Amino acid sequence: MGQTNLQELVASKGTFIVNTAVEKVAVIDVIVVLEDTVFGSIKVGGVDVKADYIGDSALSVKAGALIAPLTYKQFSAVTLVSGSVAIVLG
């Protein structure tokens, strides 16, 4: 396991619980879905990339899902419609 993956696993820079519909802007390594959640947006570099990670964004993502960015990028923001997530800060 590389250094980056180990840091994500142990959340060496901390976590933040998102449980409102207000956009949370942060450097995000991983999104952990805590309860069934509908996402308003998942952004990389300020651009919504939710469709790259969720097949039908109108439906909820089930509790326990982990969403990690593709190709070693980091998420830049997340907005929820409902539910709650823990973001692992990068």
Q: State the CATH number of the domain containing residue 51.
A: 2.60.120
pLDDT in tens, 4-62: 555 556 677 889 999 999 999 999 999 999 999 999 999 999 999 999 999 998 999 99
Task: For residues 30 and 12, give the distance between their C-alpha atoms in angstroms, rounded to a whole number.
Answer: 12
The dihedrals phi and psi of 50, each to the nearest 5 degrees, come to: -50, -40
Q: Is the pTM of this model over 0.95?
A: no
Q: Which domain holds residue 83?
A: 3-89
For residue 90, the model assigns a pLDDT of: 87
Model confidence at 2, pLDDT cuts 50, 70, 90, reads very low
Q: Count the domains in the chain.
A: 1
Identify the CA nearest to 79 among candidates 18, 11, 33. 18
More confident residue, 73 or 59: 59
